[in-house]
Structure formats: C-alpha cells, structure tokens
Structure 1
Amino acid sequence: MMPKVLVLLFLILSPVYSLFALDKYELNSGWKCIPITKVDKNGQAISQPTYSLSGWAPAVVPGTVLTTQLENKQIPDPFYGMNNKKIPDIYHTGSDYYTYWFAKDFKETLPQEDEQVWLHLRGVNYSCEVFLNGQKLNKETHYGMFLRQTYNITPYLAKDGDNRLAVIVYPPDPVGNPNGGQAGDGTIAKNVSHQYVAGWDWIQPIRDRNTGIWDKVIIEKTKQVNLKNPHVVTLVPGVRKPEGPQQPAIIKVSAELENPTSKKVNGVLRYTLDGHAVSQKVSIPAHSTQQISLKNLTLQNPKLWWPNGYGPQHLYQLKLQFLVNGNAVSDEENVQVGIREIQTEWNERTQSKQVNVNGQKIFIKGGNWIISDAMLRFTDARYDAEVRFHRDMNLNLIRVWGGALVERPEFYQACDKYGLLVIQDFWMSGDANGRWVDPMKLEDQWTRRKYPDDHQLFIKSAADQVKMIRNYASLAMWCGGNEITPPKDIITALQDSILPELDGTRWFIPYSNADSMSYNTIGGNGDGPYTIQPFSKFWSFKTYPFNSEVGSVGVGDYESLERFIPEENMVAPQYMGSESNPSEKVDSVWTYHTYTGVGYEQHILPYGAPTDVKDFATKAQLVNYNQYRALIEGFSSHMWDWYTGTIIWKTQNPWTAMRGQMYDYYLDPNASLYGLRTGSKPLHIMYNPVDSMVMMTNNTFDVKRDMMMVVDAYDMSGKKTALGQVIVEINPSMSKKYLPINASVQELAKDKGAFLSLRLLDLNKQVIDDNFYWLPNAQGEYNGLKELAKVSPKVEAQQVAKGKIEVTVTNPATNTVAFFNRLSLVNSQTQERLLPVFYSDNYVSVLPGEHKTITMEYTPGSDDSLPAVTIEGWNVEKQTMTIK
C-alpha cells in the first residue's frame, strides 16, 4: 500500500487534467409538446431544427402530460376538491389522447477528434421513439418505465451547433380500468410500470397514468472512453461503536469502461478517497465495454456511517476517473460513500430477521413510503424535506412500497444524509399481481400471478436500477414485491444472478411479509392492522415479529384541510349509530380524498362530539398524537423479546389523501409526527397503560447510568402530586420496567382524568427526556379537559440564526396546564403557514411555573423580512408574536 505522504505528494505533482469530462448538463427547460392527434409528420421531420414548432405548447420535462397540461392551465388542479373527476381518464379517451410529442432545441458544438457526446434519459413512461436532427436513435421502440436509455449522439450532432431532440411518448398498454379496486382492474400491472396510478384506497386514479419523460434528460461529454456504473462496496469487519478510533475498513471499487471508437484505448482507471489513490492500467478494445475491478483499499481509522439515532452519518467523496495514456481525463464519476456494512441474522427468540449495522443490532423503527409526488414532480428540496421529517420522527428506516418505483438517486442522497436505512421493493403488489381472489380484477388470480407480460423487460429493468442506486449507504435491503413474490423466473433471476452479481452485499426479501423476514405464527397476511387501536393493544397484543405494515390515521388540522377542500365542503363528519355499530355521514369530497372514519369516532367522541370542522380537526390531532406514540412505545417495550422491528403504514401521502400520514402533501406536519417523535426517542421514558408501569427504553449502544426518573401527576386545576422518583440505569438496546403507579394514577384520574408527567433527568437535574400524557376518567371520558380553564402563556420569539427561530413559551405558576399547543411559523402579512418548517417539537404542553423552548428552521425568502409566530392550544387562545 502506498504510504499516505506519498499519496499526497502524488496528488500535488499530478498534471492538471482536462476538465472536458466534467461537462454534463440537464435538458430541463425550453421543451415544447403537442398531442400526436395534432401533428401528421414523423420523427425524422419533426426532429429537424428547421421544422416549425409553431402551435406547440410549453412542456414540463422532467414531467408528464398531466403536469404539462396543469402548467398550461388546460386542466384544474387534480389535488383539489373533486377536480380530478373533471379530467378525462385515459381508459375512456383511448391512448392517443395522452400520446404526446416532446421536442427540445439545444446548443452543442460539433465534437473534435476523439470527443464523445452522450444522451441519457433516466426515465420515460412508458414507450418511446427518440430522434435527433432527423435521425432515429433507437433502432427498436423503447419499453419500460424503469429502464434508462443512453445514446452516443456524436455522429448526429449538427455542424452549426443547433440541434433538436424529439421524443414521442406512448402511455402504458393496457392502462387499466380505474374501477375503484386496488390498482383498478389490475391490468396496469401487465406493464413494467408503477401500479398506484390506476387508483388505490389512498389515492384516486392519475388520469394519464403518468405518461411522459418523467425523469432527467442529460447531455454528457467525454473523450474516447465513457466511465459508467461505478460500484463501491465497503466492508466493516467486527463489532464497532460510533466513537473512538476504528479498526480498518475495506473499500472495493469497480466500474464499466465503454470504448465506442474504432481504436483500442490505453489508459489508467484511478480513484481517490480521503487522500488515498488507487489505480490500474487498462486497455479497452475498440467497440467494447469492460468491467474493471481495482485492488482493495484498506482505509485506516475510517469515519463510519450509522443509522439515525445510533451515530453520525459520515460521508466521503470518491472521485473515479479514466485517464487516457495516464494523463488526460476521458471521463469521471463522483460517488458519495458511506462506510458501513449491513448484515442480517435470524433472531431465534423473536423468530424474525435482525438487522445489524457495523456489527451492532439495530431495532428497526420504520415508515412505509409511497412516492414523493403522485404526478412525479420531484425536486431535491422536497426529497430532502420529506426524508428529514422521517429523521425528525426518530425513525431509522424507510420502506419504498412496491406499487410505485425504485426511488431516485436524489431520494437516496437524502437518506444517506439523514441516516435512514431503506428497503427497496421491486414492482409487484399482492393486489394487482394475484395474491387474492378479487372480483374487481379483470383477470383471474392464476393469470395475474404471471404479470407482467414481458418478464425479460422486468429482469433487464431490475438489473439497470440496481446499478443506478447500489452505491448508497442507506440502501439496506431489496424486496421482491409488496405482499407477493414475483413469478418464478423473475425471482430466480433476482436472487441468483442480478443481486449477487451486481450488488452482493444486501439482504433480499422474497416479499414484504415473507416468513423469512418475520415468521408469522399468528396467521393472516402478515401485516396490519390499519385502523385506530386501543392503546393497550400496542402493548399487550403480540403481533408479527417484524411487521412490514401497521398503521392508523393522520387527518390534518384545519389549515391543512383548507388547502384541498372547498369552503362549502368543510363539514365535519357526523357520527351516528352506536359504539358497537358505528356509522357516519361524510361529505363527498372527504370521501373522495379517502377519509376513513372507522375507529375515529370512538376515539374523538370521548373529547366531546365535534361542534364544527375546526373542532373535529383539533380533536383529531389529540387522537393522532396518542395513536402513534402508543404504537411505537408498545413495539419498543418488547424489542428483542417479541420484535426486531416495525414499519408504519404509512408515513406520507403523495396526494391530498386523509389516511396514513405524518404530514400532508404540502409538507405541513400533523400531530402524528410529534407523537411518533416523542415515543421513538433513542433514550425514552414511557408509561405502560396495561400494567401502569413506568418504563424506559434504550436504543443506543451504551449503558446509561446516573439518571433520575421523576413521575408527577397534575389535576385539571394544575395541582401537582408526586408519584415517585428513582435513580435508574439501563443496558444497551433494551427496554426495562421500573416504577408501578397503578393505584395512584387510577385514584387521581377517576373523576375528571389527569395529566401524567414523566421525566428522565441527569444528576445536574437537566432533562434527558420528557413525556407528557393526558389520561381519561374511569369511564374513558376526557371530561376534565372539557372544563379546563383558559390560560395565557407568555410567548417570546427571536431569530438566533438566519432561517432559525427560537420560541419560548412560559406558563405562570398560578395557571393550570397550558395544554396541547400548536406553534406555527407564518407569513407576517398573510398569516399563512410557511412550509416546510422543521420544529424541534410541537403540540406541546407546558406545566404551571415552567417553560419550553422550541426551535423552528426554515428556508428564508429572497427578502430579509421576518415571519411571525402563532400559538393556539386546547385552552390557549390564538396569539401572534413578532420575532425579535
């Protein structure tokens, strides 16, 4: 191995390489489009720069036909009210209605000598023909939503530098009948495409099925050799901890080198990482592609990457280059590397898989992810915000559900940054692909088990997508499909050739609730339930030991509902029937946006029947908070005994739906996020509602000592009753019971309910963790809350850094509890919430004589004007504060 000082000297003395290989840019503006029905010329004619595009409309690329129509105001916003019903569905219009030409004029000078120019299309849905300057680039029609395309366009570029790219995009075939079933009639799954676009129980159909050039279009310039599909593997032997010196890690690097020229090219494949350089001489024959593996690098004292909550997310930048004759850069790729190793083992006690990272077992607390935006309007900023919300909920894993897509590199970059492990499903679902007999489906179960029609296209697409995302540290597991295995030849290819050869480092799950993941001895489908549960059930009912889907509710607050429900439809659900046979009257817009009241009524009514929609939404937040706190606390209380992990169904919505979300489509959190955040802290004190024990859970690798557990109750007037305190310690990665408070709590709460304050303090009386419950009376009613006296806490807000506000809420000692306060950062002129904003906590309660400080982080606008802060609570009137 080259000594580090010599490596640094080599870097200093190396020649200044050509920057030509760094030329890469997106074609993401200036596109034009037209329906196929309005043009009678072929691609050879349309792609000539002299062909007039007069009458063509501006197009959104990356985007879809629908996003273009929305941008051009040809359709109403399908996410608002019943607008989606006003948009023609492709099943009824026929495919030609959504078959479009897309054209883009761009400048690119004619290459010189051995220079090469490449066109990359990262995603087209569903099939297409590609033309440049009168020449057809793809000899055969391209099929498949998840298969990247690359064309060497060097011979076809115009001498004067004025070029035109033209692409005709055809929708999936078949498009599926959106008959109200999961994936409609199921036939959308005959394509190698996403399935939710024909409708699901959390979304209405996407009318064009997302036809379009939906992902990035990139022009790349290289010299003779194109360096592509780099592969970086990191090995971290032994059992590690985040802190202190580290034993070495092994770095393995390989890449494909493509020589499209008619001459053999000699050169050097070389990479640099953390001041180290590794290189190898290579000879690439003419018109060939070779995969080259470099010698391993032993990296001393590496900075490791850890899942959220367990350690930092250190990331390295690896620069990989091919140097013609050892001195001129032909091409280079920059790879973000997180040094970590993921292993799995079978936990005999729980009878489920256990995930280990860097030799340490990780208790999985995850969320199911559909897609960032149902109409595929992806941005780096939105990906970053959504993944950050998952980090802020103290989760450590996201499962990408199989009815959508292999997520984009930008998603994985955010997961690397915030420490979210990822389970990536392939494109199968039990609903569409025949797990069950289903009268909503066009074809029988046996036929659907053979979907898609083109197995080789599925296999080819899977291999391509593996290459696209395999270098990300966050990618932890592959999954064959949602609730179903792919057909035999596909799963054989995945597990026996594609993944071993192209990755080889990650666990492959045959399907999302397979026995090899979680031995489901209690029967059923291995996931759920999906409705609100009594708190006690999460603690006392033993479910699947690694549950891939368990979920609940998530209706947003009043401001959230206002964004997509017309004023005349802002009507609260009306509950009828009885406790044993509940029913309700629900507005049609709510129903269309997938509101489900099953369970909500039993949990909202103890707070009092909603008087209007705002009252309903406020009380729904109390239910949301409690549900998700109870869910994650209940599972955590049995970690490594009953469970190795759980994954919530689901944490986000890519449409304005009302079920299963911690924040709405507009990135506005509801109380679910903060209930989950509280209940999922790495070191956490909690109350078991079944046996009234105060417990603690330790999701870290260290013994925690010298802590004081302090338990107090408050009545509705704010009077405190001390229930106990005890010095505690807890071993790594475990849950433990400490203090029984059953009789005391029952007595205090029996008439009007009570508040329960649990705190974990260090020996300097500094708060390590704080958990606040509100308990019903003996009859399960929150009658005390209904009578809670109004209070006016003092609120101060100041800017502590650009884009960071600190708010302190102080409740005088003469008050009762200032209960369940929502803080919002708002535009000081319009009073509308700024979105997204990241709150250190929210829906907070402040005890008499105490204060809480909350930080708010946001992206400031172009001007320097400060926003304002509002606070509104159960017994706190809305206040607006200026920021100092």
Structure 2
Amino acid sequence: MFLPLILKAQNSVDLNSGWRCIKAEDVALTGNQISVSTYNTNTWMPAIVPGTVLTTLLNNHLVPDPFYGMNNKQIPDIYDKGNAFYTYWFVKDFKFTKPAAGKSVFLNLRGVNYSNDIYINGKKLNVNASQGMFLRQSYNITAFLTNNSNNRLAILVHPAPVAGKPNGGQGGDGTIARNVAMQYTAGWDWIQPVHDRNTGIWDKVTLQETGAVRVINPHVVTLVPGTRKPEGIQAPAILKASAELQNTLGKSVEGVLNWVINGQVVTQRVKLTANTTTEITLPPITIANPKLWWPNGYGAQHLYGSEFKFTVGKDVSDKDSVQVGIRQIDTKWNEHTHSRQIFVNGQKIFIKGGNWIISDAMLRFSDARYDAEVRYHRDMNINLIRVWGGAIVERPEFYASCDKYGMLVFQDFWMSGDCNGRWTDPAKKDDQWVRRQYPDDHSLYLLSAADQIKMVRNHPSLAIWCGGNEIPPPDDILIALRDSLMPKLDGTRWFIDYSNSSDMSYNTEGGNGDGPYGIQNINSFWQHKTYPFNSEVGSVGVGDYASLVRFLPVVNRTMPKLKSGKEEADSVWDYHKYIGYQDFLMPYGEPKDLRDFAMKAQLVNYDQYRALMEGFSAHMWEWYTGSIIWKTQNPWTALRGQMYDYYLDPNACLYGLRVGSEPLHVMYNPVDGTITGVNNGFTNANNLILVIKTYDMTGRDSLISQAFISIGASSYQKIQSIKRVIEGLRKQEGIFLSLQLLDQGKHVKSSNVYWLPNEEGNYSGLQKIERASLNVSARYSGIRKVEVVLSNPSKSPVAFFNRLALVSADTHERILPAFATDNYLSVMPGETRKVVMDYQKNISGRPQIQIYGWNVPERFINIE
C-alpha cells in the first residue's frame, strides 16, 4: 500500500550506505530471487545511494569525470543506447528486528528517478511500479521483515520512459518534458546533457519504527498582523497547526495529539477509525512578544523548535519535530512600477535575488554543500533565491540553510517555456500545440506537486510558488494548483502562474519578460529601464585562473581572442558554454595569456554585477520592486553566469555584487555623475558623513566633498553630482573614486571604490601604475577563522584589486569553501583594511594566505 511520507521519523534509521548495484541486463533472476539474502551479490559493484547510476559508475572509475574537459562526450547517452542501458538493480542488506505487536516499520524513499519495483526478503512490496521523479514513497514493511533480523531490500530502477534527444536545444528535442522529471538533463545553454538523465535512487532512504499511529505531514502557519520592526517589544503572533494521523491498525485507536512550542502545549484528544489517515487541526495559539524571522539584511532569522507527538495512554506512538520561523509574507500590486511588491511582517522588501539551478547536476547533495552555497548567497547581500523550473523542488536541507541565512525562496514547479511550448522551436520534435500538453501524465504531476508542497511548506524561507519557468502549466494543472492544492495545502504564500507573468511584472513599454543575459555597458544598468520585477537578468561569469585550470586540460588553456570583431574560443570553452566578454577586456590592455585574461575578466565581472544591482537599487520603487540575477551558481563546470564555480570558489562577481547590494550603500552614477545613497532598512539613516575622494595613479588624493547626509527608510537619495570634477580628473589616465559613509563615531558603514577610465574609455593609467608596497599579516582569530590585515603606506600608489585566498602551505591549492568578509579589494594610500576569512572543514597541514593584485605581486603569508 502506498502511503505519504513524513518529514522526520521518531525512530529512524538511514539506509544511505552499503548498497550494491548491477545493470539489470546482466542478471537473469527475478526480484523475488535477488531479494533473498542467500543470493550472493558480492560481485556487484558498490553503489552510491543517494545517487544516480552515473555517480556510481564514476565512483567505480568506469566513466571519466564528465565535468572535466570534453570527458562528458565519452559517456554513452541513454537516447542512443536505450533505457535498458541505464536500468539497474540496487540491493541493500540491513539488520532490523521485527517489532512487537502493535508497532509498525516503514520504508521511506524520498526520491527515485524514475520508476521502480521494490522487493524485500523474496516478496514484491509495491504491486505496481511507482512512477515519477518527485513523488515520495512510504511502505509498511512490518509483515515483510524476517524473524532473524537479517533483511534484504532490492529495488529495480528504470529511467524515465522518454529520454529526449540531446540535439543542442534547450532541453534537447523537448520530449524530456513528457516525464514528470527535471528537464535540464537533456542539455541547456549552460550545461551539456547528463547521459543517464539522473536515473537512480537519488534521495534519502530511511526505515522508521512507530506505534499504532503515525504523525505525518505536520503543518504550521504563522500570522504576524500589523507592520513590525526587527527590534523592540513585539505584538503577539498567531500560530495555527495541523497534522495527519495515520492509524495502521485494523481497529480504531483513541489517543492525544500534542504540539509543543515555546513552552506552550496544545492538546487534542482524537479517535481514529481503522486503517485511515485523518488530518487533525489544532486550536490556534498566541505567542506573546515573538522573536520574528526576517530576510537577509533586514533582521535576525529566529527559529523556534517545536514537536508534534501522538500518545496512546502513556505510550508515545510517534512524534515529529518542525522548526518554525514566525513571519508573515504578503504581496500587493505597485501601480507606479506595474509590478508585484513583497512584504515581510508588514514591511516592504526590495527584492535582490539570484537564480539557482540545482546544487549539483549529478545530484550529489550534502548538507555542508547546501550550507556553503546558501551562505555565499547571504554574503552577496541578496535576499531571495529563485529555484528554476527545469530542475527540482529543492530538498528540505536546502530550505533549512535558507531559513538559517535569511534567503526568501521563489520555487518553480517543473515547466519551462523552452520545452513546454511557449514558442515555436525547430530543435523540438513535437509542435507547439503538442508540447503545451506535456507532461503525458497530468494526474502524476499533480500528485507529485501536492507531495512536494507538503514536504517544504513549513520553512519560513519559502515565499513564492510558481507554476513554471516562462510558461504556465496546461490549464487543468494550473487550475488545480492555483485553486485547489494551494488553498488546501499552503494558503499563505503568493502563487504566480509563471516566472515572468504579467501578474508579477508588466512593462508598459514592452509587455512582460526577462533578460538581457549578456555583458553590457555599465551605463545601461543606470539609464535603460527593464522589466519592473525582472525574474532573469544577468551577465558574464568566468572564474579566475585557479578555477579554470581545475577543469581545462593543459592543451585547452588558451584564452579566447577577438577576430574581426567576433570572439573565438577553444572547443572546450565552447563545450562548457562560454559566454563572451567581447571587447570589454581591451580597455585594460590586450590580455597576454590565460592568467592575464582571467585577471582582467575579474575586473569586468566585479564592475558588471556591482553596476547591475546599483542600477536597480537607484530606481527602487520608481522603476523596480526587485530583480533576480540569471544566475548566481552553476551545478557543473560552466563558463557563464556564476558568482562562484562548481568547486565553491568565488570569483569577483560575488564581491562586486556584495558591494552593490549593501543594505546601506553609497554609489556613483557613471552616466550623470550623481552620488546616490540607498537605505534598505526600515528606519531613517541619519547623521551619516559622506566622504568623496579621488586618487590618481601615483596615489595622490583629492578630497571632493565631506558632508553630513541622511537617507530615508527603504529609499534612495540623490545627493550631489560630481560629473564636472570627475571628468576633469580622469581625462588623461583615469582615476580611482572612493566613496565612504561613516557614522558619527567614524565607523565605516559603506565603502565603494571605482576605477574610472580616461576620456577615451581606456584604463591607460592602470596599465602603467607602479607597484604598491602592501603590507600583509595574518593571525588566527578563532577556530578555522583568520584575520588578515592589509596596510598600504601613505606614499604608495593604490594597492589595486587584491585577491585573497586560503591555501595549503604544501601545495598552494585553495582550501574550499572559504568565506571572506571582502575580496578583490583595493587599499588606498595610508589605509589599513581588515578581512576575516573562515573555512568549514578541518584540514591537514598548515594553511597560508595567498594574495595577489593588479599591482601587488603574488606572495604567501604565514598565519600567526
């Protein structure tokens, strides 16, 4: 019998190691025979579970690393080989004692791609093969367990019925969308095909022991009326809770459902009829002076532990824990911008977001990787992550990291305009009308959607549900999602029919949409209005030299070159979806080699993403209510659109965006020379000192202005134009422009350094600037935490654009992930800057700090 899955078991055992597997064609036995423990599977290869067939083959050295060079082309594709090539048996032996009477044991699978037949101890568990990548499964296996506690589980995993042809189109020929599965695996403009289409037991497997009644799918709704602020005494909040109770016995059971949170206990006595699942709604409670959950940059992310428990007499039958963030999310239409506006706890939030595909293209997920990736997004000073519709509803572990770091989540369902027929496309097999009805099984789609909603709906970070990427689902799916499932299962969040819907954003000059995606003149971010809540806008994102050499073979470490106005790149660069810099590097001088190319690319990266977010912020509530960058991460070794690479190594995009997205920020408009301050906070920023200085290439400074200013709450303020002064100073060689906001204690609240070209648009001064005599020291300031101090002598040139990295003293390879409070930073003459770096993992050997800059030679600093 198929049953819905709980979030976390009372008595749970992981079955996520010790598996073996074999290609189904290579064994001539039935599942009944294979699942008997006397059958010898020692010759089968070790399997990765959770994982895919391809991750298992890679782990057993049977295929090369598909993320390196052109290796992916050596791996057979399922479209050419047929589904049988990637159909595998997975077997797990486990010990579990058969429970006493009145107790039950459940096998829980959180994700199998695509269909599966399950056998245990010689018997078939599921009468019909389970279908769909996104549907959790749970089975009562009590009667199947052996008396001697030695058990064997055998699962035959079949790929999705339609593999799709990877013909170079977005989602290949589009037919991958006939399945209820991810679409990117047939290839996209940022990834090559995943050749097994991620077939496998891709998510966690657990055993759970309960009493007669199981607590499943608990649900907590938090209501925070009024307009709140992060600090001070809070008015009460209202919490509503419910849970499903599953009676596993053939007779009625009477007991008590308890919910405990913040020391308060809610109790409901219930009587459950035999073999039923009943949803129980508990009386609402009030939390006095609650600690609220806020998005990143606006306040703290307070989380409350809570527990649901069902007892029969004095015995606990089952319990489940849920972390609760008390917050309320609302939206309303902004008539001035013609776009949707987001409110949290009654306060309007200017959305600064990033698009997310998936943590790893081959589904190699981990709590640590999720934490690192979401932390990088927190460090970018953004407040929202959109999970793109060609992938998955993200895992609870991802959402837990977003809860922790204050990332609102915009979650798409599994649709895309490319595959699902928004436009005609010669790369697609079926015409537009046929594709508009994908997937083949609408009932399975809706069943999967309902299940995934229940899986993640308790997370405070979840803010928006979206029907699909750039297209709504077919009408019957859309109506069911919007009008039935959402009101019933999760009625507190905004549901939008598709990602660039006119319900989200409408440009009166050109309808709704998204983009642009390529490199732009930074002036365009300031002077050209785009969609008022842009779900996808982005630019370039090549990593630095250390990043490139990790996946480029030596022979392919050649930089792209401009020929006849067109950029030409090596074949491996093209295979990894390189998006060009055109002639944007040339003002710095034609790159000499790959290392020089990568360094100059970082200058452009930093400028691009700083300008992007500054341009949007400078028009907040006037032109825009938000923007979401396409994209902030890559799940493989791509050469476009990323703030950090697949190996979790950040590039200058991250730090340019970090500066441009500061909650309190001062910036320079390159078009009209205006200095503008931005305050994203809920209170006025008063009595700030604005200091405007320039530095020439020798390091000589000029004070342009120093004055007290104030910036209103949640607004921008144009302060003054310095265009005439700047044009005069930059004329010959260009200059550095330093903007700082200080409080009355002279503490720096915002620091922003621009390097401006000469009147011809070239950085002639940078090309001949003298070396800076930068002094650098490093000391431990905590566990896995290093403080780096950078001091530039007063008569030195600007120490420009310095990259810090934590490296092994033995190999000089970077320790990843590593987080820095600033990077790619410039140090003015007479200035001292401090950067704190920390890392997650214990490492063997001695770490050092690597530093190099535009006019600072590379060196390695011992840590005191």
Q: Distance in 1 between matches of 2:511 and 2:861?
A: 53
Q: Distance in 1 between matches of 2:840 and 2:42?
A: 40
Q: 1:640 aligns with which of 621, 631, 646?
A: 621
Name the amino acid aligned to 1:100: Y
Q: Distance in 2 between matches of 1:572 and 1:267?
A: 70
Asked if 1:881 is matched to 2:861, the reply is: yes
Equivalent residue number for residue 190 of structure 1: 178
Q: 1:434 aligns with which of 421, 427, 452?
A: 421
**For 1:844-869, what per-residue CA distance to the aligned partner results, in whole angstroms no more than 9, with x for missing partners?**
10001111100001124265x54100
Name the amino acid aligned to 1:873: G
Q: How many Å apart are 1:606 and its aligned residue?
A: 0.6
How many residue pairs were aligned?
857
Contact 1:802 1:860 in 2 (8 A): no
Map 1:148-547 to 2 at 5 A: 148-325=136-313, 327-523=314-510, 526-547=513-534
Q: Distance in 1 between matches of 2:570 and 2:711?
A: 50
Asked if 1:595 is matched to 2:582, the reply is: no
Contact 2:399 2:456 in 1 (8 A): yes
Secondary structure, aligned partner of 1:462 = helix
**For 1:498-524, what per-residue CA distance to the aligned partner results, in whole angstroms no more than 9, with x for missing partners?**
010001000001000000000132326
Structure 2 unaligned runs (5+)? 1-7
Name the amino acid aligned to 1:765: K
Task: Give the RMSD, CA atoms, in angstroms.
Answer: 0.9
Moved >3 Å (runs of 4+)? none
Name the amino acid aligned to 2:150: D
Q: How many Å apart are 1:596 and its aligned residue?
A: 1.6
Q: Distance in 2 between matches of 1:861 and 1:761?
A: 37
Q: Distance in 1 between matches of 2:834 and 2:620?
A: 32
Q: Distance in 2 between matches of 1:451 and 1:414?
A: 33
Contact 1:708 1:727 in 2 (8 A): yes
**For 1:304-353, what per-residue CA distance to the aligned partner results, in whole angstroms no more than 9, with x for missing partners?**
0000000000000011100112x211111000100000000011111110
Q: Distance in 1 between matches of 2:268 and 2:600?
A: 65
Q: Distance in 2 between matches of 1:354 and 1:587?
A: 44
Map 1:610-625 to 2 at 5 A: 610-625=591-606
Equivalent residue number for residue 747 of structure 2: 766
Q: Distance in 2 between matches of 1:415 and 1:405?
A: 16
Equivalent residue number for residue 813 of structure 2: 832
Q: How many Å apart are 1:690 and its aligned residue?
A: 1.2
**For 1:211-266, what per-residue CA distance to the aligned partner results, in whole angstroms no more than 9, with x for missing partners?**
00000001111010011000000000000000001000011010000011112111
Contact 1:685 1:695 in 2 (8 A): yes
Identical residues among aligned pairs (%): 60
Name the amino acid aligned to 2:328: E
Equivalent residue number for residue 819 of structure 1: 800
Contact 2:470 2:500 in 1 (8 A): yes
Name the amino acid aligned to 2:437: K
Contact 2:810 2:846 in 1 (8 A): no
Name the amino acid aligned to 1:440: A
Q: Distance in 2 between matches of 1:225 and 1:742?
A: 72
Q: How many Å apart are 1:764 and its aligned residue?
A: 2.1
Secondary structure, aligned partner of 1:783 = coil
Q: Distance in 1 between matches of 2:613 and 2:842?
A: 36
Q: How many Å apart are 1:115 and its aligned residue?
A: 1.1
Asked if 1:776 is matched to 2:776, the reply is: no
Name the amino acid aligned to 2:383: N
Q: How many Å apart are 1:62 and its aligned residue?
A: 0.2
Contact 1:21 1:223 in 2 (8 A): no
Equivalent residue number for residue 118 of structure 1: 106
Q: 1:681 aligns with which of 662, 667, 687?
A: 662
Q: Distance in 2 between matches of 1:375 and 1:353?
A: 35
Q: How many Å apart are 1:739 and its aligned residue?
A: 1.6
Name the amino acid aligned to 1:402: G
| TM-score between both structures, scaled by the size of structure 1 | 0.96
Secondary structure, aligned partner of 2:706 = strand
Q: How many Å apart are 1:792 and its aligned residue?
A: 2.5
Secondary structure, aligned partner of 1:601 = coil
Q: Distance in 1 between matches of 2:819 and 2:288?
A: 37
Secondary structure, aligned partner of 1:412 = helix
Q: Distance in 2 between matches of 1:253 and 1:21?
A: 18
Between 1:85-94 and 1:520-529, the stretch displaced more is 520-529
Q: How many Å apart are 1:525 and its aligned residue?
A: 5.6
Contact 2:393 2:413 in 1 (8 A): yes
Equivalent residue number for residue 17 of structure 1: none
Contact 2:562 2:583 in 1 (8 A): no
Q: 1:720 aligns with which of 701, 717, 723?
A: 701
Q: How many Å apart are 1:601 and its aligned residue?
A: 2.4
Map 1:699-848 to 2 at 5 A: 699-848=680-829
Secondary structure, aligned partner of 1:483 = coil
Q: How many Å apart are 1:106 and its aligned residue?
A: 0.3
Q: Distance in 2 between matches of 1:627 and 1:217?
A: 43
Q: Distance in 1 between matches of 2:363 and 2:437?
A: 27
Name the amino acid aligned to 2:163: V
Q: Distance in 1 between matches of 2:747 and 2:64?
A: 53
Q: Distance in 2 between matches of 1:159 and 1:862?
A: 45
Secondary structure, aligned partner of 2:584 = helix
Q: Distance in 1 between matches of 2:240 and 2:119?
A: 39
Q: 2:832 aligns with which of 848, 851, 854?
A: 851
Map 1:19-98 to 2 at 5 A: 22-98=10-86
| TM-score between both structures, scaled by the size of structure 2 | 0.99
Q: Distance in 2 between matches of 1:881 and 1:537?
A: 40
Equivalent residue number for residue 871 of structure 1: 851
Equivalent residue number for residue 13 of structure 1: none
Q: Distance in 1 between matches of 2:863 and 2:508?
A: 56
Between 1:763-772 and 1:540-549, the stretch displaced more is 763-772
Contact 2:502 2:512 in 1 (8 A): no
Name the amino acid aligned to 1:810: S
Secondary structure, aligned partner of 2:369 = helix
Q: How many Å apart are 1:137 and its aligned residue?
A: 1.2
Map 1:544-555 to 2 at 5 A: 544-555=531-542
Q: Distance in 2 between matches of 1:163 and 1:227?
A: 26
Q: How many Å apart are 1:585 and its aligned residue?
A: 2.3
Contact 1:339 1:473 in 2 (8 A): yes
**For 1:538-570, what per-residue CA distance to the aligned partner results, in whole angstroms no more than 9, with x for missing partners?**
111111110000000110000000100011110
Contact 2:235 2:290 in 1 (8 A): yes
Secondary structure, aligned partner of 2:765 = helix
Q: Distance in 1 between matches of 2:43 and 2:380?
A: 49
Contact 2:502 2:511 in 1 (8 A): no
Name the amino acid aligned to 1:406: V
Q: How many Å apart are 1:51 and its aligned residue?
A: 1.3
Name the amino acid aligned to 2:743: D
Q: How many Å apart are 1:21 and its aligned residue?
A: 7.0
Asked if 1:100 is matched to 2:91, the reply is: no
Q: Distance in 2 between matches of 1:524 and 1:804?
A: 49
Secondary structure, aligned partner of 2:443 = helix
Equivalent residue number for residue 636 of structure 2: 655
Contact 1:43 1:166 in 2 (8 A): yes
Name the amino acid aligned to 1:135: K
**For 1:23-69, what per-residue CA distance to the aligned partner results, in whole angstroms no more than 9, with x for missing partners?**
10210111000001100111111111111113211000000000000
